[in-house]
């Protein structure tokens, strides 16, 4: 049985094959279409059982798609999982070739599942949604700078005019991308249906729905709600050991920051305008939870409901998420 480990960088990737517990010498290929073609020819000759690579930024995607289209068994793993594996193996040196060899050993010992690429429309929507998120963040920073500049009488008017122009340009770019996202969604019936069902949740405007849908539509449908919470970094981590270590639970924040950011404002609106969410939030605060902790709990509930919209094809239903007992006590 031959397994393959591939360590990816921006310009190239290293490939190591492993058979019967022994690694072959690392082979390097360029991160180009020609390099991908040569790697595919090399891999088909080896007939591997699995090919493991990390989901490192955006650099893995083109190669993973090329290998999948060639009919090769691609496995894309979480970098966090691989980091813990490398620590467990007490790996000292860290080079591309060493990492590729460790990935091959990971493939042999851990037998990860095969990777199935999302639809091209979903990948395009995710890219647009993340660009909107970055532009909104840049606009917030520009508005904060404008506020600071306007607070001083000695600020040259040129600087204030420059910030106003920058904010106006960001507004135009954000609006153009929103329209592009809506057009893309309208061309694909499943995405259009998901967006409509998610819109039934109070606090979910068009911008929030697009941003959340952009992140969720690329995930495998077999994922459970608890796995989706971990993907978003909304899972609670407990740190307890014996009698000396007993720290309060905290959000891991180890997941998708884009998804957490997109859920914040809908949850804020929900605790004001959704009676069930408001009662749930107030019950948590009454039990001694901090307001931010209670808000994150609402975010997690909303994420579960929005994921259910995608899995079941049904509109968002707050009654399935929040217990009636909180309503009765409110």
pLDDT digits (tens, 9 = 90+) for 214-241: 999 999 888 999 999 999 999 887 777 6
Strand partners, 16: 5
Among left, alpha and beta (phi > 0; psi -120 to 50; other), residue 245 is beta
According to the model, what pLDDT value does residue 247 have?
A: 72
Sequence-ordered strand ranges (E) for 128-223: none
Residue 15 parent element (H or E): strand 12-19
According to the model, what pLDDT value does residue 326 have?
A: 62
pTM: 0.84
Residue 241, SS3 per DSSP: strand
Among left, alpha and beta (phi > 0; psi -120 to 50; other), residue 71 is left
Q: Give the β-pairing of 2-8 and 245-251.
A: unpaired
Beta-carbon contacts of 232 under 8 Å, excluding residues fewer than 6 positions away, are 255, 256, 259, 260, 263, 300, 303
According to the model, what pLDDT value does residue 238 have?
A: 72
Residue 49, SS3 per DSSP: coil
Contact 299, 234 (CB under 8 A): yes
According to the model, what pLDDT value does residue 255 have?
A: 82
CA angle 202, 270, 143 (to 5 degrees): 100
According to the model, what pLDDT value does residue 56 have?
A: 81
Beta-carbon contacts of 103 under 8 Å, excluding residues fewer than 6 positions away, are 5, 6, 7, 16, 52, 53, 54, 82
Among left, alpha and beta (phi > 0; psi -120 to 50; other), residue 113 is beta
Contact 243, 250 (CB under 8 A): no
pLDDT-flagged residues of the chain (< 70): 241, 243, 245-246, 249, 326-330
Comparing CA positions, the residue from 278, 253, 256 lying closest to residue 268 is 278
Cα(304)–Cα(218) distance, integer angstroms = 16
According to the model, what pLDDT value does residue 237 have?
A: 75
According to the model, what pLDDT value does residue 1 have?
A: 85
According to the model, what pLDDT value does residue 246 have?
A: 67
Residue 297, SS3 per DSSP: helix
């Amino acid at each position: 049985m031959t397994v393959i480990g591939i360590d990816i960088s921006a310009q190239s990737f290293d490939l190591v094959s492993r058979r019967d517990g022994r690694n072959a010498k690392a082979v390097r290929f360029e991160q180009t279409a020609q390099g991908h073609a040569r790697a595919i020819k090399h891999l088909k000759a080896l007939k591997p059982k699995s090919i493991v690579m990390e989901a490192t930024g955006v650099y893995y995607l083109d190669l993973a798609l090329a290998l999948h289209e060639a009919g090769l068994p691609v496995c894309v793993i979480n970098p966090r999982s691989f980091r813990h594996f490398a620590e467990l193996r007490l790996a000292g040196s860290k080079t591309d070739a060493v990492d590729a060899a460790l990935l091959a050993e990971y493939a042999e010992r851990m037998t990860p599942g095969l990777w199935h690429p999302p639809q091209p429309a979903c990948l395009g929507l995710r890219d647009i949604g993340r660009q909107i998120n970055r532009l909104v963040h840049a606009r917030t920073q520009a508005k904060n700078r404008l506020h600071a500049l306007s607070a001083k009488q000695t600020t040259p008017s040129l600087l204030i005019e420059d910030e106003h122009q920058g904010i106006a340009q960001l507004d135009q770019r954000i609006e153009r991308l929103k329209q592009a996202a809506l057009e893309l969604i309208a061309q694909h019936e499943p995405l259009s249906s998901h967006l409509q069902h998610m819109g039934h949740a109070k606090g979910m405007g068009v911008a929030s729905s697009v941003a959340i849908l952009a992140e969720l539509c690329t995930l495998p449908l077999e994922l459970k709600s608890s796995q989706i919470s971990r993907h978003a970094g909304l899972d609670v981590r407990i740190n307890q050991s014996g009698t000396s270590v007993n720290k309060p639970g905290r959000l891991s924040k180890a997941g998708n920051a884009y998804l957490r950011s997109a859920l914040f404002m809908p949850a804020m609106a929900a605790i004001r305008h959704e009676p069930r969410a408001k009662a749930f939030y107030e019950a948590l605060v009454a039990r001694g939870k901090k307001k931010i902790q209670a808000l994150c709990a609402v975010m997690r509930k909303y994420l579960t409901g929005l994921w259910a919209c995608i899995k079941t094809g049904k509109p968002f239903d707050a009654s399935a998420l929040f217990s009636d007992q909180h309503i009765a006590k409110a």
